[in-house]
A = this chain, B = another copy of it.
């Protein structure tokens, strides 16, 4: 993977050239605070697993596409931080906290336009369709979540629609794109897509469980979702119990939510076994992702895709 990674990074750095010094400055900061680059990795691993040779030339479309995917991911994170008023991202100041909301909104738009331009140069209609559909789904998922804010549900169907759209659609798109670059086999492409979809769902459920766990365990403030009026899977399961429901809804009525009420809700959800119940659902999606992998060719890239599912295992139980 090391040559693949080098070629991806070269394409990524080349993509965001601009005559505006401020754009160069923000680019430098974004690049210096990059995360795991999970989405380009998913794309490259899916491609190689499905038969794309790992020694392809540096000008193979895979690299421009993975660069566009990482830029797209940066764009969504920068806009998410505006949307959520977040001052930190990966433990460092967010773009909005360093440069203000104006620059953050504009840089996200600039990145989106660069994605459009790059995909147009690559000129693969199928792949552009997958990416644009993923961007539409991500915003629809976030907007649906926004619409459902403060609505406490007992059924998980709308929650599942939200997370499939806002999180899983992008990971699914990455795996679908990788396989599309490697093979015409519709079954392989579909299995790669399903793998991505299921790890995306698992990824978000895990994140939503972690929000109920203490900062000492997760490194993130506890209870953000509850404070923001987001009803996620552990709460949905807890609300199915009529006794819990009345108690929890009464506690959540308080505006703004006090720490006392917040922690009583968290304890009720946790002690009622609902984090475990959500963890069982998470395990179900990990199993589905692994099942999808079984239909792909067995090689070291498939092993790496399998290893990613290992990292999604629930940290409780």
Contact = CB atoms under 8 A, between A and B. Distances in A.
Interface in A69-99: 76, 79, 82-84
Contact of A135 (B112, B138, B143, B146): B112
Interface stretch (A16-24, A53-61, A230-238, A262-270): A16-24
A260 interface: no
Interface in A122-159: 123, 125, 128-129, 131-133, 135-136, 138-140, 142-144, 146-147
Contact of A129 (B107, B117, B129, B140): B117
Number of copies of this kind of chain in the complex: 2
B107 A143 contact: yes
A114 interface: yes
Interface residues on A, range: 35 or more
Chief secondary structure at chain A's binding surface: helix
Interface of A: 18-23, 76, 79, 82-84, 101-103, 105-110, 112-117, 119-121, 123, 125, 128-129, 131-133, 135-136, 138-140, 142-144, 146-147
Given A125-B120, A128-B120, A109 B139 contact: yes
B110 A139 contact: yes
Contacts of A138: 109, 113
A133 B132 CA distance: 17
A82 B107 contact: no
